[in-house]
Structure 1
């Protein structure tokens, strides 16, 4: 009788444990990191109480807890909790608890706090991944024919490179016709994409930041007239972990973050955009308010490399698709302001095109070259466009297969070097290039 009772109790305990594991829909994911806090994210399958516990790798006996939060249907059963008892320059292991039960995973669940290097040492070496255009197939809602998404093992390759963080450059998910007309559909699409099995290990131990482009904002080529843009803004913020959004207080997702001595400017190329087919008014992609904020923020930044992330190509001369060249007046205003303010170290990062290319623009020998790195596609369909109409392209950098980028910044504070590597789905290098910060400075200064 005692043995039978013991077996029953053991079965009940195990059943409860297994049920708790099944309550996790996607994640956990690590969002932004600062010196004193980091964001932890998870999505459950139904309403559940969630919290995280974490500890310094070198001091596992001192444990900390986040607040508890009960996930809700109207917010996609998403929990975003802050680990706010961390110290600079530490590596932490964290644990996820759902309804009081610890969730087990067969891959590391870790995050790091940023290093306090200022006035002490040279800035640390930084490794980060970039990519765009992630299409996860769902046959019942996809167009008939050959699936558009493939080679999802690319996320396992990115994970193996162990970047400090990943910057997603738009089209991170693809809203379909059944999705973008309702909040229910938008939540479903973001949930479906985030639940991809091959993605989970990367989410759990790499910090993530993101911008959007048309497909995670709304329909193909969507613009400011999209009637659901407030809903997609809300849901984008639910599913991503940037430290700030809408820094210009006009809607959308514009923001910025720092990592070591680098600064990233996250632009919104959809919320304020004029329709591609509307030529009756002043045409804009970013809008004057967002550009003026950007110029001011760039002018305030002391970063040797100032990375501007935007959903589409900026300096390409190919006035086709949705390139900035098709909005020539506003693009010229943006580039003129960068030059007029004598801002140094600018590099554009973007996606959209379903191929990768590095472009280099230098108007004369008195100004430094501005680079534009287009990195696409992660899993969505690719093309072999050679960018023949883009006079700034570096031909040897055109890639027409699934790929991602690993960017490394190293060297002493006064001589930082950016190394760009583009790798295929298996993590094999396709090309690399070094750019010195000192080469992105003005040679003379006319007072």
Structure 2
């Protein structure tokens, strides 16, 4: 009898872990609160216990009941935190601690303003994440692969990750609410992804495949269901237009990130009108106003498709030349410093640099894909904006480090392959973008 009891004790962590479907995942981190996302396999109560590393005082969140109607997801706010600290945390389901074979830690942002130079920090950026599922994948060679990239990214020890769209791929059976929940669950539940989710803060935008079908636009009939899914499964700190897409903004240290929606208002690609909507005027007006009022060292515009490249291929913004020209004109006329772009979609990676007479150049870093299929560059990609030596046609991700004093910050870009080999590096100084 005693041996049976000991065996049950040894197996207990496995039973408890089995209650978690995916997560925990860290959402946004601010100075006074942090979002933690957890999904259970069935209805349950979930709470988080946490303590500052080096301090034994335990903080406990109020329990949240997960329900089928919201895919058994708990979005938990840790609000008994101090600025600029690191915390160890635990997940409790039905008042029992869940065991994991990796540590769980989160952090809060530091109050540096008016006190000292901003802290150095790093983040990783990637797009196009496809997790294979035999029942719904197309026949032939699997499109996804190389999920060891998650461990390679985690090993870089970034402060946060920025997902640049096509973070999952909806497939033909998925275009109901039930189907969309299944696809989100299937991708989020990838076992190799879990340590990265649990210990790195995550922010996201979407592109076509995690909004709807390939090349989706404003006509997609399930766009509001897609938005519901995004709100359920991601932990961004805000949505500028709560019922009109995923546009948002966040700040880390002295850098601001403007999260754009290139689907909600986008006109069909086949519409023959150079002034057709891309972001739409409402979103465009918000962006240029927000950029003008920003005092960030770098103002990073994150978008699903390429912006700077003039190549009118696939879904590059160059195909929507009216809005692209308007954006560049507004940046110059309003004398907005520090702007650069992070983009994806293309299943190639490169850095584009647009020289602008009378003002600073615009950079656009494209990183794609992480685990989805690779693609070949096309002839028009080799144009005057392509920075020599940066076009890569293999699975990759980038690590971006921001360092230096406030008046002379440097943004260091490193592109890595799946194994963690360095493919190229580039340093951009804040003084160059003025």
TM-score (norm 2): 0.97
Corresponding residue for 2:422?
429
1:375 aligns with 2:367: yes
Instruction: Work out which of the residue numbers 336, 346, 352 in structure 2 matches 1:353.
Output: 346
State the distance in 2 between where 1:280 and 1:431 align. Answer: 38
Secondary structure in 1 matching 2:173: coil
Once the two structures are TM-superposed, the CA of residue 396 in structure 1 deviates from its matched residue by 0.6
Quote the residue 1:416 is aligned against: 409
- The alpha-carbon deviation at position 285 of structure 1 amounts to 1.2
**TM-aligned CA deviation for residue 20 of structure 1:** 2.3
- Give the Cα–Cα distance (whole angstroms) in 2 for the partners of residues 305 and 133 of structure 1: 25
> Which secondary structure state, in structure 2, belongs to the residue aligned with residue 368 of structure 1?
coil
How many Å separate the matches in 1 of 2:230 and 2:413?
28
Query: Would the aligned equivalents of 2:339 and 2:433 in 1 still touch at CA under 8 Å?
Result: yes
User: Deviations 1:207-253 (Å, cap 9, x if unpaired)?
Assistant: 000000000000110011111011111111111110011x1355111
For structure 1, the residue ranges without an aligned partner over 5 or more in a row are 442-447
**Which stretches of structure 1, 4 residues or more, deviate above 2 A after TM superposition?**
6-20, 278-282, 386-391
Q: Where in structure 2 are the equivalents of 1:331-350 lying within 5 Å?
A: 331-350=324-343
Provide the residue aligned with 1:63 in structure 2. Answer: 58
Query: For 2:242 and 2:106, how far apart are their aligned partners in 1?
Result: 30
Distance in 2 (CA, whole Å) between partners of 1:101 and 1:144 is 43
- Measured after TM superposition, the shift of residue 14 of structure 1 is 6.1
Cα distance in 2 for partners of 1:119, 1:266 equals: 27
Greater displacement, 101-110 / 77-86: 101-110
Confirm or deny: 8 A CA contact 2:46 2:65 kept in the other structure. yes
Correspondence for 1:313: 306
Preserved contact between residue 274 and residue 319 of structure 2 (Cα < 8 Å): no
Equivalent of 2:376 in 384, 409, 413: 384
Per-residue deviation, 1:8: 6.0
Change (3 A) 1:99 1:10: farther
- What are the ranges of 5 or more consecutive residues in structure 2 without an aligned counterpart? none
Q: Residues 16-415 of structure 1: matches in 2 within 5 Å?
A: 17-59=13-55, 61-179=56-174, 181-245=175-239, 247-249=240-242, 251-279=244-272, 282-364=275-357, 366-385=358-377, 387-415=380-408
Please tell me whether the aligned partners of residues 20 and 99 of structure 1 are also in contact (alpha carbons under 8 angstroms): no
Cα RMSD of the aligned pairs, angstroms, is 1.5
Contact preservation (8 Å) 2:38, 2:75:
yes
Aligned-residue offset at 1:390: 3.4
Aligned counterparts of 1:107 and 1:412: Cα–Cα separation in 2 = 35
Which of 38-47 and 140-149 deviates more?
A: 38-47
**2:322 aligned counterpart, secondary structure:** helix
In 1: Cα distance, 2:164 partner to 2:89 partner = 27
Q: How far 1:18 moved relative to its partner?
A: 3.5
How far apart are the structure 1 equivalents of 2:426 and 2:4?
Answer: 63
Give the Cα–Cα distance (whole angstroms) in 2 for the partners of residues 311 and 420 of structure 1: 19
State how far apart, in whole Å, the 1-side matches of 2:274 and 2:244 are: 21
Q: Distance in 2 between matches of 1:275 and 1:390?
A: 25
Deviation at 1:121, TM superposition (A): 1.2
CA distance in 2, matches of 1:16, 1:259: 39
The secondary structure found in structure 2 opposite 1:253 is coil
Following TM superposition, by how much is the alpha carbon of 1:272 offset from its aligned partner in structure 2, in angstroms? 0.7
- SS, match of residue 338 in structure 1: helix
Deviation string 1:176-220 (CA, Å, 9 cap, x unpaired) is 0000x2000000001100111111110010000000000000011
Task: Tell me the CA shift for residue 341 of structure 1.
Answer: 1.0
- 2:431 matches 1:438: yes
Give the corresponding residue for 1:445: none
1:401 partner SS: coil
Distance 1:319 1:222 in 2: 17
CA distance in 2, matches of 1:164, 1:15: 34
TM-score, length basis structure 1 = 0.94
* Preserved contact between residue 274 and residue 321 of structure 2 (Cα < 8 Å): no
C-alpha distance in structure 2 between counterparts of 1:138 and 1:89, whole Å: 41
d(CA) in 2 for partners of 1:421, 1:62: 39
Give the direction of change, closer, same or farther, for the CA distance of 1:282–1:361 in structure 2 (3 Å limit): closer
Q: Residue 26 of structure 2 contacts residue 199 of structure 2 at CA under 8 Å; is this kept in 1?
A: yes
